[in-house]
Chains A and B, each alone.
Chain A
Amino acid sequence: MNEQAIDSAPGASFGASPRLRQRYRRERRFHAYCIGALGLAVAFLIVFFADMIHIGYSAFVQTEVKVPVDYSEQALQVPPRAVPDDMRPFVSRGFLRQLPRVAKANPELVGTKQEQWVLATADVDQYRKGQKSALEEDVAARADRLQEQGRLRYAFNTWLFTHGDSKIPELAGLKSAIIGSLYVLTITLAFAFPVGVMTAVYLEEFAPDNRFTQAIEININNLAAVPSILFGLLGLAIFINFFGVPRSSAIAGGLTLGLMTLPVIIISTRAALRAVPYAIREGALAMGATRWQTVRDHVLPVSLPGILTGTIIGLAQAMGETAPLLLVGMIAYIPDAPTSFVDAATVLPAQIYTWAGMPERAYVGRTAAAILVLLAILIALNATAVFVRRKFERRW
């Protein structure tokens, strides 16, 4: 405090010395640099989030257009005929394509004409949102007229969450990627959690202090720093080419990420085990418990919050990882959600990567929306980790 008082009133009592004044000036400058550096990092974070939200928020709503839909038999034969010619450029192909299925499910519709809100094309959507759009001029003018007539509206983009990837921008959704991520993370967790915890228990509770143990330790620290893409090379060469795991399946991706997450889980589990006071172990051993009984019944239960925190953080890291998954083939175009661990799957970050590379402008908004979804999931995971730590962790 005292120093700060001097800092904040430089030269108050020593003002006479120019050299001292210079030193205080230097002090203030350095302090400002430090604040500036931190401010720069924080400013970047703010700009980054603002930018993502700015690009992405509009993709959460989607333009719908009110058109008369003709459910007559002839129209159902050739779905584009179901809407009037002048409205056709506004109506998404996705809606027209599923018309026959809708008619089959609701036979009472057949033969009727309905005024309906239907999904508009991405171009109309982009035009309406004031973004770059490939809409022709006369169509754009007609879109303005429809707007005046109240035949265009925004609706929440549920499609984004209920459908998989598509080559038509307004039909592209995240469902298959989200489910794919779930499958992959399940494998990752099922592999990395037991192996990681077991390794950490061995190193902390059982291992003799010898060369071999040290080798394992150095190796784990080193694995934690190996670039993630090298895990992709491993996954490709060992899992896919040697063990014959199906390419781009959840099991290939999950195991690759599992190996990558392993060091994170091991390191945090060791820290959690180390935090348990030795008296607890000695108490159990004194009662005649074996080493394993001590660990199982006393050490692991009290260190569980720490272990879970580390595991969740490791999973969050795996959830955002892309590079190794590209190498095991998870950038394929996969419109349907996987139904088993050996199905071809894609994950959220890989979907972001694919969409980012799409030439159509409309994918930009979708990509940012997907990023916001991914960030929301990651924030939720990390918040869970913080919650678990705050709520359950015991300090000794």
Chain B
Amino acid sequence: MAGSAAGPGSPGRSPFVRGRHGAPALKRVSSRVRCGAVGGAPTGRPGDSWGVDSGTTIFLFLAGAAVLGYTAYHSGQRWALAARDGGATLHSRPHQYGWFVACWGMLPATAVGVGAWVIQLSGWLNLVEYAVLIAAFAVGGAGMWLGRHLLRPQLRARNALDRLIRRLLLAAGLVSILTTFGIILSIVFESIRFFHMVSFIDFVTGTTWAPDSAFLEGAGRGAEGASKADFGSVPLFAGTFMITVIAMLVALPVGLLSAIYMAEYASHGVRGMAKPTLEVLAGIPTVVYGFFAALTVAPLVVDLAGLLGLDASYNSALAAGLVMGVMIIPFISSLSDDVINSVPNAMREGSYALGTTKSETIKQVILPAALPGIISAFLLAVSRAMGETMIVVMAAGMRPNLTWNPLEDMTTVTVRIVDALTGDQAFDSAETLSAFALGLVLFVVTLALNLLSVILVRRFRQKYASS
């Protein structure tokens, strides 16, 4: 089963990788799959764990573990039933003694199996799969024997199981922490490698992003490159900034006013219709927005600009920004709606009692009160816009362009990440690694925005918690 896969044993060249090379390049992103280190994931790793035998091994392991667990469970339960018939007072129910023995059998076996797998992956030792299986089941059998002999009528099997389950649940909770660490580690390590090649100052202050000659260096033809590769990220951040600003110019007024309408003006029925309708905007996949932006909005922008006597690019920042703004509307509207709704009613009533109109109440009482929450929604939306990928990959340009003109094509951080990692480069080339450096910046900025937003909204909630 696994053998027919990408054939990772052959150094990094699966059949489809070759097939892709003959393909016409995508519009702008050269989408050839890299056949270097990334493509051939486990190049030169001894006894690759995803080889032909891994499927069989996993199957044998699971089958064996099931048999082991079943046997252990029954032996434990039988013991408990016999003890009960013999007149002993059991602390727990008989099946709980069964589970107790089963856990004593299966957990050590699983530990051996997973341990062997990790050792195999890290490449310290090349383990023979059958030896691992036999070792795992031997350990499991021993565990079962031990568990069986721990059984006493007064053994608190139920409590032990509860403790075990609590630990398992905790372990599941750790997965999310590990994910964060995984993101941080993977980005930071590769970024450090990148900053060994390119100085941090150049990266932050440089105004030219021209990684193309890094490709020649990577191919061992550095001398042919007319100039050295430049990794000045300013144009990318300028592009990201520009598109984010355009998106927020669309999303903030539309989203906020919609939220005000739904929270303050709309009847119950209208609100019930409008809210899910806006949520649909959030449910449309970004690749679909990207297609819409590139195919429909971009030509429209060009035509409109032409009417005004302006020259617009078909990959203008404006088109991407407008569509991204529409995508962001529901984030702003639903978050602001929540915040406006949780402004205490007493404030509204007090204001009406002074004879204000509805809009005066909204503008002078409700919005100021809800401001921290609205700012928090805004920050969250900005972080969403900065990290958005597909719309800009499909609708914004590939050319790093430092300009104030939104009708020109500009590129963003996320576009360069995708471009660098779907290009045709060895994994340790500077261009590929630059994607991780850009990812690091993106992570830090969005993290800061998110945390700030959380703090603001928490402050808002505390202020009105009593009501």
Contacts and interface: CB of A to CB of B under 8 A. Distances in A.
B320 to A, nearest CB: 14
A233 B186 contact: yes
Given A219-B176, A230-B187, A356 B291 contact: yes
A38 B257 contact: yes
Interface stretch (A70-78, A245-253, A271-279, A388-396): A245-253
A262 B176 CA distance: 8
A321 B394 CA distance: 14
Nearest to B176: A220
B343 interface: no
A378 B280 CA distance: 10
Contact of A340 (B5, B40, B296): B5
Nearest to B427: A241
Contacts of A248: 6, 16, 33
Most A-side CB within 10 Å, residue of B6, B40, B393 = B6
A119 B227 CA distance: 52
Given A195-B172, A245-B41, A246-B41, A333 B16 contact: yes
A375 B383 CA distance: 26
A378 B283 contact: yes
Interface size class of A (residues with CB under 8 A): 35 or more
A244 B31 CA distance: 22
A320 B39 contact: no
Contacts of A210: none
B393 to A, nearest CB: 8
A185 interface: no
Interface stretch (B107-115, B134-142, B209-217, B356-364): B356-364
18 contacts: A37-B253, A38-B257, A41-B281, A52-B292, A199-B169, A199-B176, A220-B176, A228-B387, A230-B183, A230-B387, A234-B182, A237-B182, A237-B189, A244-B41, A316-B283, A329-B422, A340-B1, A359-B27
Query: What 9 pairs between A and B have smallest CB-CB spacing?
Result: A227-B387, A320-B285, A237-B186, A357-B26, A37-B257, A198-B172, A34-B261, A202-B169, A30-B359
Given A37-B257, A216-B176, A290-B161, 19 more contacts: A24-B357, A31-B359, A36-B257, A38-B261, A38-B262, A38-B274, A201-B169, A216-B174, A223-B180, A227-B446, A232-B421, A244-B45, A248-B6, A320-B283, A334-B16, A349-B285, A349-B288, A364-B295, A375-B288
Interface of B: 1-2, 4-6, 8, 14, 16-17, 19-20, 23-24, 26-29, 31, 33, 37-42, 45, 48-50, 121, 158-159, 161-162, 165-166, 168-170, 172-177, 179-180, 182-183, 185-187, 189-190, 253-258, 260-262, 264-265, 274, 277-278, 280-281, 283-288, 290-292, 294-296, 326, 329, 333, 352, 357-360, 362-363, 380, 383-384, 386-390, 393-394, 414, 417-418, 421-422, 427, 435-436, 439, 442-443, 446-447, 450-451, 454
